[in-house]
Structure 1
Amino acid sequence: MSQSDTAVAGGSTPLPEGSLAQLAEHHGLKRAIARPAIGPYLHQLWERRHFIRTYATSRNISKYSDSMLGQLWQVLTPLLNAAIYFVMFGIILGTQGDVDNFAAFLITGMFVFTYTQRSVMGGSRAIASNLSLIRALHFPRAALPLAYTLQEFQQLIVSMAVLMVIIPITGETPTFYWLLVPVALALQTLFNMGAGLAMARVGATLRDVSQLLPFIMRTWLYASGVFFSIPSRLKQAHAPEWVSWILEFNPATVFIDLMRGLLITSYRVPKPGYGPPPDMTRIWLFALFWAVFALVVGFWYFWRAEERYGRG
């Protein structure tokens, strides 16, 4: 045994911190909370996929356990919001004249935006709300914001089933485009995962973000064309072309337009008296870009701070 080992084992004069670090490195010891490389980190996440699914499911079950209507609220909430916005924007402000089937237009926008909104807000609380779990157990912290997104996806499945019933009631006929709905939802889910991961780091660092986020999300809602046609309204306002491009490149707008184009025939087919239909090819490309960009950047941004979660 070396002299430094004997000093540590025998309880004699403690070594300086730098010497302890060198000693640990010499014997192959690593910090328990050291951030692994991206490859091993992804492998750890995959090994804990069952925990992610179980955690998300248990949160879904407990979320509405104290209410009489239970999980029906996950469908009723966007429907009630859509009813309020229908009166305020569709009837009072007259935006229903921008599109042919305003009821389907509005409800689809509300369901799609609500999915992203809840994923982002849930992600912002993923670390701060689970500090006791983080400090007690060693696991890749990305499992938590991913579980929050999976929780919202589980709720979305029920909402989409209801939406598939409502859309035909408004006068739309199911088409083969409906078969692409799972693909559109997969792209939106990838975006939500990336956005949730990014917001999880922000929420863990800036605790006040939970107070600001509702205002940010409300602004995002108004800028995403949920209850009005962006091209029609900007044309009436004589806005510059670059303003329209920015609003249409907004990721929430992209996924809303994508779902509307698949479910609502009158939205993607030009009709006399209404604005031009969206360019579905461009929307698909935008959706693919946002899904890949958000997931890659969001994961990298979250992973970079892996060692700091749970401190303080």
Structure 2
Amino acid sequence: MSDTTHDGAVAVSAPPSPDGGLSPAELAAKYGLSVSGARPGLVEYIRQLWGRRHFILAFSQAKLTAQYSQAKLGQLWQVATPLLNALVYYFIFGLLLGTKEGIPQKVFVPFLVTGVFVFTFTQSSVMAGVRAISGNLGLVRALHFPRAALPVSFALQQLQQLLFSMIVLVTVAVAFGSFPAWSWLLVVPALALQFLFNTGLALAMARLGSKTPDLAQLMPFVLRTWMYASGVMFSIPAMLAEKNVPGWVTDVLQWNPAAVYMDLVRFAMIDGYGSEYLPPHVWAVAAGWAVLAAVAGFVYFWKAEERYGRG
């Protein structure tokens, strides 16, 4: 199609486009285009995540190896750090403040070490989750993969670190008269449920931390408060019995997930820490917390999948 301008030149105009009247959404549908990095369906997302399972394992192992690569003692710090924390807590709470009331003398040290190690597992998973996306933006922006692989990998890293610490925990338990028994096998399902719970928390915190980096500065205070309320250094029922607090307060503190998982590992490994220290239906509560956190955390993270690493 052509036309003549006022100076006699011939102007040639393009033929009308067959797509001229279509909206961007209609154009995308017509030519089979999709948004880059669009969130897949939940089932497809799980399938993609399972397909990256080898990456998740390798990434967690690499992070674990690199964590103390600059320290002279290297991987020994995986065990030394929680053990030193336990020694500090024993000096302050066991000797100075006397929080071992209600717990047999020979039980208190393994009781305390177990509490510190098990709570550190959750604490480290939460902190790693907060930084999972915001601390790995280069990887997130460079490669296409299910972003949930990062917080899951960090939670797995903390599980592997706990398994190293279990060597010390076993040594402490035996040194104070708790020898291996069939009940020790209960540690496996207890830690498996705690891992599910921690993974759900890590996923939820990864989404929150991706948009609010300052959360990494706030969480240590939240986690410290949680630790003091979870009976890491004292027996919740024995301590509150002396304070004449309402029974529902004791129930709430005992049913909080950190206390539940600590109590299960203590019950499994420590002779003298019997069922009287456990809340009712403790295994059902542990499973309920694990499923709730894992499902809710995963769905909450998945819903923001297409926004990670942008802006």
Q: TM-score, normalised by structure 2?
A: 0.91
**Contiguous gaps of at least 5 residues in structure 2:** 1-14
Percentage of pairs with the same residue: 52
Tell me which of 222, 247, 267 is aligned to 1:261: 267
Q: Pick from 15, 34, 38 the counterpart of residue 34 of structure 1.
A: 38
The alpha-carbon distance between structure 1 residues 140 and 5, as it changes in their structure 2 partners (threshold 3 A), is: farther
What does residue range 228-247 of structure 1 map to in structure 2 within 5 Å? 228-247=234-253
Q: After the TM superposition, which residues 1-312 of structure 1 pair with which residues of structure 2 at under 5 Å, given as runs? A: 4=17, 19-100=23-104, 101-268=107-274, 276-279=276-279, 282-312=281-311
Report the Cα distance in structure 1 between the residues aligned to 2:272 and 2:283, rounded to whole angstroms: 18
Q: Is the 8 A contact 2:177 2:271 kept in 1?
A: no
DSSP-derived class of the 1:265 partner: coil
* Alpha-carbon distance, 1:265 to partner: 2.1
> Which of the two has higher C-alpha Rg?
2
Structure 1 residues 21 and 229, CA gap change in structure 2 (3 angstroms) = same
CA distances 1:167-208 after superposition (whole Å, capped 9, x unpaired): 110111221110121111111100011010000011012111
Structure with the higher helix share, 1 or 2: 1
| Runs of 4+ with >2 A deviation | 2-7
Q: Which amino acid letter does the alignment assign opposite residue 23 of structure 2? A: S
Is the 2:267–2:274 contact (alpha carbons within 8 Å) kept by the matching residues of 1? yes
Q: Match for 1:295: what amino acid?
A: A
Going from structure 1 to structure 2, the CA distance change for 1:251 and 1:19 (only over 3 Å counts) comes to same
Contact 2:61 2:157 in 1 (8 A): yes
Provide the C-alpha distance between the structure 2 equivalents of 1:283 and 1:28, rounded to a whole number of angstroms: 52
From the superposition, tell whether residues 247 and 19 of structure 1 become closer, same or farther in structure 2 (CA, over 3 Å): same
Q: Distance in 1 between matches of 2:162 and 2:16?
A: 63
Q: How far has the Cα of 1:164 moved from its partner?
A: 1.4
Q: Distance in 2 between matches of 1:3 and 1:135?
A: 39
Deviation at 1:4, TM superposition (A): 4.1
- How far did 1:6 drift? 7.2
CA RMSD, aligned part only? Answer: 1.6
Return the letter of the residue paired with 2:81.
T
Q: Equivalents in 1 of 2:148, 2:141: separation in Å?
A: 14
Does the Cα contact within 8 Å between 2:129 and 2:154 map onto a contact in 1?
A: yes
Q: Any idea what the Cα deviations from partners look like across 1:234-253, whole Å, max 9, x if unmatched?
A: 11111111111111111100
Q: TM-score when scaled to structure 1?
A: 0.91
- Matching residue's letter, 2:303: R
5+ unaligned residues in a row in structure 1: which ranges? Answer: 8-14, 270-275
Structure 2 CA distance for aligned equivalents of residues 4 and 167 of structure 1: 79
SS at match of 2:273: helix
Give the residue type in structure 2 aligned to 1:123.
Answer: G
After TM superposition, give the deviation of residue 222 of structure 1 in Å.
0.3
Q: Quick one: distance in 2 between partners of 1:4 and 1:240?
A: 77
CA gap 1:5/1:194 in 2 versus in 1, 3 angstroms: farther
